């Protein structure tokens, strides 16, 4: 097992293409997860008992079934019901939905920690429910949730590796393709590991900032 | 710090001198009910099996400054929360300027717009300030004027600066609540309530969370408000000297009932009820 620098340099462009798709999927899925989670938390909070049970059922489903199973279900079973979508949108949507379920729990926890006295103040100021949510509760929920949500985005970024199972050319997928074609595994997976680690750094920096700010 | 001109802008008040006369026991004449700013008639409130208020009758004239005193747990804060529609009574009727806050004249439950209309006439300042921590002082002040009163941002900011000057904090306009002392936060909370120009202002133990020095600066603001404005004040406080200074009437609560009410002089120098005497002794010797 010897490291081949020329081979490493040769496969780097393919891996960087994988980086592009990894970032694309992470950004798109995170957008779905963070906004969807917020909407689910609000919906659960303002719903009737039946509505809450309905939301909770789907949340538990998304959190309880592994992402890979959901990906295969969406990719192979939905076409039988006449719903055929390309792999990339399916991958983005499934990861987004799964992490929306996780995020909604974070938002919900933040909402619970907002003192009830602030809601009293909103009533005393005669703010409408919409303004109360838009200007007071949602900003506070987001602010209080941020450190955990950054962690979840980091988790989602790592979870994009499973998308290689649908043939989506994320970094992990590209590394596997290169390795299978060349029968060399050291360089592709070492480089993939280093790149994943390097891409973690901005998240780790953000988390350290949050720790300093909120500790 | 305060002037008559400044506080007289605080709403379309009915002069206290022109208000309807009240019976010595504080009860209302029903034919003059529109002349009351706020009325509690046979109001009860229970939390589970615990009865907090029992058949409360209390009528407050426009512009009157009424202070509720009594031991902790006697129902004083609940009176304010009921007036602000933060709680619903278990029984009885509460009216704000003749308009019921529970049922309308036909006995139908209050509508959202009616509730909003009533809330618009009331303002409340809380023990724990309850400023929005993610908003600056200015943003705290203009949120309700821009969204409730539909004022332009420029107009709302102009008002905000005026009220900040009244409470002596015009230099804190861009500070966040966490950057202010407790007394400063409470003064901002008072300005935030006043900027909506309420006709009734409910002050719930506004100095209880403050040390004496900071409490003094808040009480000075309320003293000025009480002397110069025609806003109806309903105050819950344990500051007896302050209550004596600002009140037209003192109402003494015990176990969810009014046990005595009258002028500050009468209550503090010649109370009728032994329970009032005991309460005043305990609090003045504290």
Q: What ipTM was predicted for this assembly?
A: 0.82
Residues B28-49: pLDDT tens digits?
A: 444 444 589 999 999 999 999 9
Select the residue of B124, B132, B193 nearest A136 (Cβ to Cβ): B132
Closest-approach residue (CA) in chain A for B142 = A125
Is residue A128 less than 8 Å (CB to CB) from chain B? yes
Average pLDDT estimate for A71-76: 96
pLDDT of B28 reads 42
SS3 B198: coil
DSSP string across A12-56: HHHHHHHHHHHHHHHHHHHHHHHHHHHHHHHHHHHS-HHHHHHHH
**Look-up of token digits 């229970």:** B46
Contact residues on chain A for B124, CB-CB shorter than 8 A: 120, 124
Residues B144, A121: C-beta atoms closer than 8 Å: no
Residues A164-177: pLDDT tens digits?
A: 999 999 999 999 99
Which of the four pLDDT bands, split at 50, 70 and 90, describes residue B208?
confident
Note whether B86 and B73 are within 8 A (CB). Answer: no
Residues B47-105: pLDDT tens digits?
A: 999 999 999 999 999 999 999 999 999 999 999 999 998 998 999 999 998 888 876 55
pLDDT of B106 reads 60
Residues A121, B132: C-beta atoms closer than 8 Å: yes
Q: Would the pLDDT of B5 be above 50?
A: no
Task: State how far the Cα of A187 lies from the Cα of A199, in Å rounded to an integer.
Answer: 18
Is residue A46 less than 8 Å (CB to CB) from chain B? no
Backbone angles phi, psi at B198, to 5 degrees: -70, 155
Give the distance from residue A148's alpha carbon to the nearest chain B alpha carbon, in angstroms: 19
Is residue A80 less than 8 Å (CB to CB) from chain B? no
Beta strands B249-254; B257-262: pairing state: antiparallel
pLDDT of A163 reads 96
Average pLDDT estimate for B262-276: 94
Task: State how far the Cα of B79 lies from the Cα of B205, in Å rounded to an integer.
Answer: 13
Contact residues on chain B for A134, CB-CB shorter than 8 A: none
Residues A126, B144: C-beta atoms closer than 8 Å: yes
Neighbouring-strand partners of residue B91: B44
Note whether B94 and B58 are within 8 A (CB). Answer: no
Select the residue of A121, A124, A140 nearest B134 (Cβ to Cβ): A140
Sign of CA dihedral B224, B229, B235, B241: positive
Beta strands B99-100; B122-125: pairing state: unpaired
- Which residues, including other chains, have CB under 8 Å from residue A68's CB and lie 6 or more apart? A162, A165
Note whether B218 and B207 are within 8 A (CB). Answer: yes
User: Environment class of residue B12 by beta-carbon count within 10 Å: exposed (0-12), middle (13-18) or buried (19+)?
Assistant: exposed
Task: State how far the Cα of B183 lies from the Cα of B60, in Å rounded to an integer.
Answer: 28
Task: State how far the Cα of A56 lies from the Cα of A49, in Å rounded to an integer.
Answer: 10
Q: Would the pLDDT of B1 be above 80?
A: no
Residues A114-138: pLDDT tens digits?
A: 999 999 999 999 999 999 999 999 9
Which of the four pLDDT bands, split at 50, 70 and 90, describes residue B26?
very low
Task: State how far the Cα of B264 lies from the Cα of B161, in Å rounded to an integer.
Answer: 35
Give the distance from residue A143's alpha carbon to the nearest chain B alpha carbon, in angstroms: 9
Helix (H) or strand (E) holding B258: strand B257-262
Task: State how far the Cα of A55 lies from the Cα of A101, in Å rounded to an integer.
Answer: 10
Helix residue ranges per DSSP H, B84-178:
112-121, 137-147, 153-166
Residues B148, A121: C-beta atoms closer than 8 Å: no
- Which residues, including other chains, have CB under 8 Å from residue B199's CB and lie 6 or more apart? B11, B12, B13, B37, B62, B97, B121, B122, B231, B232
Residues B147, A135: C-beta atoms closer than 8 Å: yes
Q: Would the pLDDT of B140 be above 90?
A: yes
Spans of all domains in chain B:
36-284
Average pLDDT, chain A: 94
Task: State how far the Cα of A120 lies from the Cα of B128, in Å rounded to an integer.
Answer: 11
Residues B209-237: pLDDT tens digits?
A: 888 888 888 898 898 888 888 899 999 99
Average pLDDT estimate for A189-210: 90
Closest-approach residue (CA) in chain B for A117 = B130
Residues A140, B120: C-beta atoms closer than 8 Å: no
What distance lies between CA A22 and its chain's CA centroid? 12
Give the distance from residue B192's alpha carbon to the nearest chain A alpha carbon, in angstroms: 8
Closest-approach residue (CA) in chain A for B150 = A127
pLDDT of B78 reads 96
Task: State how far the Cα of B155 lies from the Cα of A211, in Å rounded to an integer.
Answer: 40
Q: So what CATH class is B36-284?
A: alpha beta
Task: State how far the Cα of B71 lies from the Cα of B77, in Å rounded to an integer.
Answer: 11
């Amino acid at each position: 097992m010897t490291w081949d620098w020329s081979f490493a340099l040769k496969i780097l462009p393919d891996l960087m293409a994988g980086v592009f798709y990894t970032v694309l999927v992470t950004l798109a899925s995170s957008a779905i997860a963070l906004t969807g989670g917020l909407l689910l938390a609000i919906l659960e909070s303002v719903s009737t008992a039946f509505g809450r049970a309905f939301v909770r059922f789907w949340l538990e489903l998304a959190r309880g079934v592994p992402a890979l199973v959901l990906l295969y279900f969406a990719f192979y079973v939905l076409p039988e019901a006449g719903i055929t979508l390309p792999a990339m949108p399916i991958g983005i949507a499934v990861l987004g939905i799964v992490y929306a379920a996780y995020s909604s729990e974070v938002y919900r926890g933040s909402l619970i920690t907002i003192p009830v006295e602030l809601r009293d103040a909103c009533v005393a100021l005669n703010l409408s429910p919409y303004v109360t949510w838009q200007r007071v509760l949602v900003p506070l929920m987001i602010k209080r949730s941020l450190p955990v949500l950054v962690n979840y985005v980091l988790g989602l970024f790592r979870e994009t590796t499973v998308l290689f199972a649908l043939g989506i050319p994320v970094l992990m997928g590209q590394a596997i393709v290169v390795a299978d074609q060349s029968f060399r595994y050291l360089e592709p997976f070492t480089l993939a590991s280093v790149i994943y680690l390097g891409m973690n750094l901005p998240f780790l920096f953000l988390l350290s900032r949050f720790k300093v700010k909120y500790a | 710090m305060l002037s008559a001109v400044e506080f007289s802008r605080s709403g379309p008040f009915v002069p206290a001198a022109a208000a309807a006369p009240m019976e010595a026991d504080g009860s209302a004449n029903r034919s003059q009910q529109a002349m009351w700013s706020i009325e509690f008639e046979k109001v009860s409130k229970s939390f589970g099996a615990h009865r907090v208020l029992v058949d409360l009758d209390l009528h407050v004239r426009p512009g009157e400054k009424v202070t509720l005193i009594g031991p902790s747990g006697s129902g004083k804060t609940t009176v304010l929360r009921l007036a602000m529609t933060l709680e619903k009574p278990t029984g009885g009727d509460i009216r704000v300027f003749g308009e019921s806050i529970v049922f309308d004249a036909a006995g139908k439950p209050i509508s959202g717009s009616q509730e909003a209309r009533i809330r618009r006439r009331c303002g409340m300042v809380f023990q724990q300030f309850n400023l929005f921590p993610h908003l600056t002082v200015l943003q705290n002040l203009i949120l309700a004027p821009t969204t409730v009163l539909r004022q332009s941002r420029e107009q709302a900011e102009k008002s905000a600066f005026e009220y900040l000057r009244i409470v002596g904090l015009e230099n804190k306009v861009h500070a966040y609540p966490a950057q202010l002392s407790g007394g400063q936060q409470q003064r901002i909370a008072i300005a935030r309530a006043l900027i909506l120009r309420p006709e009734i202002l409910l002050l719930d133990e506004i100095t209880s969370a403050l040390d004496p020095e900071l409490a003094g600066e808040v009480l000075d603001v309320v003293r000025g408000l009480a002397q110069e404005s025609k806003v109806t004040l309903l105050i819950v406080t344990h500051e007896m000297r302050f209550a004596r200074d600002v009140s037209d009437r003192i109402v003494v609560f015990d176990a969810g009932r009014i046990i005595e009410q009258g002028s500050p002089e009468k209550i503090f120098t010649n109370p009728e009820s032994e329970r009032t005497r005991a309460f005043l002794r305990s609090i003045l010797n504290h």
